[in-house]
């Protein structure tokens, strides 16, 4: 059983920002969860390096496009360990093996009769690296996304016969209602398809910064086709001397943002059909994080900068906040103030206190040893089926709902402490059996939620599970009652309220 998940490859004409971190974190959380299920996971991310915007940006800096690509790809790659991302490969579309594979797939598309020669004329946005249909141009002849003036372009082109896939794409959407999620994005893609598909340029004639067209060396492939194919090409060379394609293809999840919906939900399946390749299982479209700059925290200023958050509060705090604050799949606002509020209320108080009081009481009353007492049956009932419910959310990429399901149990355990008042039981000689049961149930509940939280908070959960003497991480281990706690060891605060001071 393999689980193949991708982020979009990030475009190197700009520096990494919060949006890139968001998609990468989400993909990593899913990858880790599927590893917990015992699946063979392949998690791919990387950089998109060709096309006119990169060539133009390099030109403006007086350097070669490859130099710009090298410089910015390194910045994207450096962000990954900071986020605790466990990607299996980092693809760059300037990799020679990628380029060779793009050429062979697109030559097959041509051999299959889906490429022809023509002239394209239209309104072109250099920032999108895309022609804009007449009905999508903003007043003043502006790109609706970039608000820059469009230019009238005409050039010889090879075309991809997208129109030939009208019916097959409509049937795909009819047969697989979960091909694109959330539902609003599925509807958006389907209505674009139903509006009538037109052929699209596959190559650029005047541009040299791209993958050369093997049958006509005066052309390079249009950057979008080169980029989309990264999901396929990477598998052929990610492991030296090994081709993972047969074992791994097709992808289970492409995570994308909505600005690239059409390329992924329409062009991409059509291209795969033209190349006779299997289609991905799911395309999941997350929303935008809108920055609310007025809600400022003391320590982070007004901009939620992923690197600044990580330096002060750690990667776990950022990972948790982004998936907790904004329901995954919807747009939402984030702010440094909301970040600090959640950090204190949920990480430091809900989870941090639960961990420290549980371990503290076990140490104080039982010298760190969890008795083999019966577990509380009412608590067991409330935890029954929890790993399965979390897994069901993950199957639909409902990362925020999955987290909420777990967090309810974190809060339940805190209430359990208040209800059972172990400190009172400890002072009553004839209630020692009850104290054993309460402490064992509490420790077991904490262990269960910690295993389930690991994809979201990997570093903190590993520390906590080590303190519980129960490092097992599989989804089966997350079951309440699976046990395994031996002797607990004291642990410092998982989420210190006084975060590390910054250098300045
Ligand atoms: Zn644009």
CATH of the domain at 485: 1.10.730.10
Per annotation, catalytic residue among 59, 146, 147, 497: 146
Please tell me the distance from the alpha carbon of residue 134 to that of residue 146, in angstroms, as a whole number.
Answer: 16
Would residue 217 show up in a list of annotated catalytic residues for this protein?
no
Q: Is 146 a catalytic residue?
A: yes
pLDDT in the model for residue 502? 47
17 carries an active-site annotation: yes
Residue 327: partners with Cβ closer than 8 Å, 6 or more residues away: 400, 401
Q: Is residue 364 part of a domain?
A: yes
177 found inside a domain: no
One of 132, 143, 219, 254 is an active-site residue; which one?
143
Domain contains 405: yes
Q: CB 310: neighbour CB atoms within 10 A? A: 19
Asked, for residue 404, whether it belongs to a domain, the answer is yes
Q: What is the whole-number distance in angstroms between the Cα of residue 208 and the centre of ligand 1?
A: 21
**What is the H or E stretch that residue 124 is in?**
strand 115-125
Tens digits of pLDDT across the chain (504 residues): 799 999 999 999 888 999 999 999 999 999 999 999 999 999 999 999 999 889 989 989 999 999 999 999 999 999 999 999 999 999 999 999 999 999 999 999 999 999 999 998 889 888 877 778 888 899 999 998 889 999 998 889 999 999 999 999 999 999 999 999 999 999 999 999 999 999 999 999 878 999 999 999 999 999 999 999 999 999 999 999 999 999 999 999 999 999 999 999 999 999 999 999 999 999 999 999 999 888 888 888 889 999 999 999 999 999 999 999 999 999 999 999 999 999 999 999 999 999 999 999 999 999 999 998 899 999 999 999 999 999 999 999 999 999 999 999 999 999 999 999 999 999 999 999 999 999 999 999 999 999 999 999 999 999 999 999 999 999 999 999 998 898 999 999 999 986 555 444
Give every strand in the sheet of 130-132, ordered side by side: 130-132, 115-125, 151-160, 200-201
> Taking the CB of residue 192, how many other CB atoms lie within 10 A of it?
16
Q: Is 295 a catalytic residue?
A: yes
Question: How many angstroms does the Cα of residue 229 sit away from the middle of ligand 1?
Answer: 22
492 lies in some domain: yes
Q: What is the pLDDT of residue 504?
A: 41
Q: Which domain range does residue 415 map to?
A: 335-499
Rounded Cα distance between 504 and 497, Å, is 19
Q: Is residue 490 included in any domain, yes or no?
A: yes
Gap from CA of 132 to ligand 1 centroid (Å): 8
Listed in sequence order, the residues at least 6 apart from 434 whose beta carbon sits closer than 8 Å to its beta carbon are 425
Ligand 1 centre distance from Cα of residue 90 (Å): 27
Total domains in the chain come to 1
34 is annotated as an active-site residue: no
Can 128 be counted among the known catalytic residues?
A: yes
Catalytic residue among 20, 132, 264, 286: 20
C-alpha 147 – ligand 1 centre gap (Å): 7
| Residue 110, domain member (yes or no) | no
In a domain, 267, yes or no: no
In the annotation, is 461 catalytic?
no
């Amino acid at each position: 059983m393999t689980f193949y998940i991708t982020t979009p490859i990030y475009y190197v004409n700009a520096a990494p920002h919060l949006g890139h971190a968001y998609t990468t974190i989400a993909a990593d959380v899913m990858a880790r969860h599927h590893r917990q299920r015992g699946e063979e996971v392949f998690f791919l991310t990387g950089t998109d390096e060709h096309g006119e915007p990169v060539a133009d940006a390099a030109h403006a800096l007086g350097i070669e496009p490859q130099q710009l690509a090298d410089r910015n790809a390194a910045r994207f790659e450096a962000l990954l360990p900071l986020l605790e991302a466990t990607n299996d490969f980092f693809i760059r579309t300037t990799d020679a093996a990628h380029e060779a594979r793009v050429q062979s797939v697109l030559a097959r598309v041509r051999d299959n009769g889906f490429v022809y020669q023509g002239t394209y004329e239209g309104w072109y946005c250099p920032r999108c690296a895309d022609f804009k249909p007449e009905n999508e141009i903003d007043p003043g002849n502006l790109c609706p996304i970039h608000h820059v003036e469009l230019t009238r372009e005409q050039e010889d082109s090879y075309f991809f016969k997208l129109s030939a896939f009208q019916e097959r794409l409509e049937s795909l959407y009819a047969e697989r209602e979960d091909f694109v999620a959330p539902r609003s994005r599925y509807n958006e893609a389907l209505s674009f398809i139903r509006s009538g598909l037109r052929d699209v340029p596959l190559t650029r004639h005047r541009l040299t910064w791209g993958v050369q067209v093997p049958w006509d060396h005066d052309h390079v492939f249009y950057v979008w086709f080169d980029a989309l194919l990264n999901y396929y090409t990477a598998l052929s060379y990610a492991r030296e001397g090994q081709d993972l394609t047969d074992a791994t293809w097709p992808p289970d999840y492409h995570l994308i943002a909505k600005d690239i919906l059409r390329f992924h939900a329409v062009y991409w399946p059509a291209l795969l059909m033209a190349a006779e390749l299997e289609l991905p299982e799911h395309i999941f479209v997350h929303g935008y994080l809108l920055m609310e700059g007025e809600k400022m925290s003391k320590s982070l200023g007004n901009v939620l900068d992923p690197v600044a958050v990580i330096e002060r509060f750690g990667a776990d705090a950022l990972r948790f906040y982004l998936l907790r604050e904004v329901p995954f799949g919807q747009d939402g606002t984030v702010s440094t103030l909301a970040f600090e509020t959640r950090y204190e209320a949920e990480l430091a108080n809900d989870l941090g206190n639960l961990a420290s009081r549980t371990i503290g009481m076990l140490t104080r009353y039982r010298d760190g040893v969890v008795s083999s007492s019966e577990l509380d049956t009412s608590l067991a009932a409330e935890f029954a089926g929890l790993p399965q419910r979390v897994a069901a959310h993950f199957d639909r990429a409902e990362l925020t709902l999955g987290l909420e399901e777990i967090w309810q149990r974190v809060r339940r355990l805190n209430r359990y402490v208040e209800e059972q008042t172990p400190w009172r039981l400890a002072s009553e000689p004839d209630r020692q059996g009850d104290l054993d049961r309460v402490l064992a149930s509490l420790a077991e509940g904490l262990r269960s939620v910690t295993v389930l939280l690991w994809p979201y908070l990997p570093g903190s959960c590993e520390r906590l599970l080590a303190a519980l003497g129960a490092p097992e991480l599989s989804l089966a281990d997350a079951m309440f009652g699976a046990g395994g706690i031996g002797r607990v060891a004291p642990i410092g605060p998982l989420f210190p309220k006084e975060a590390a001071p910054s250098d300045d």
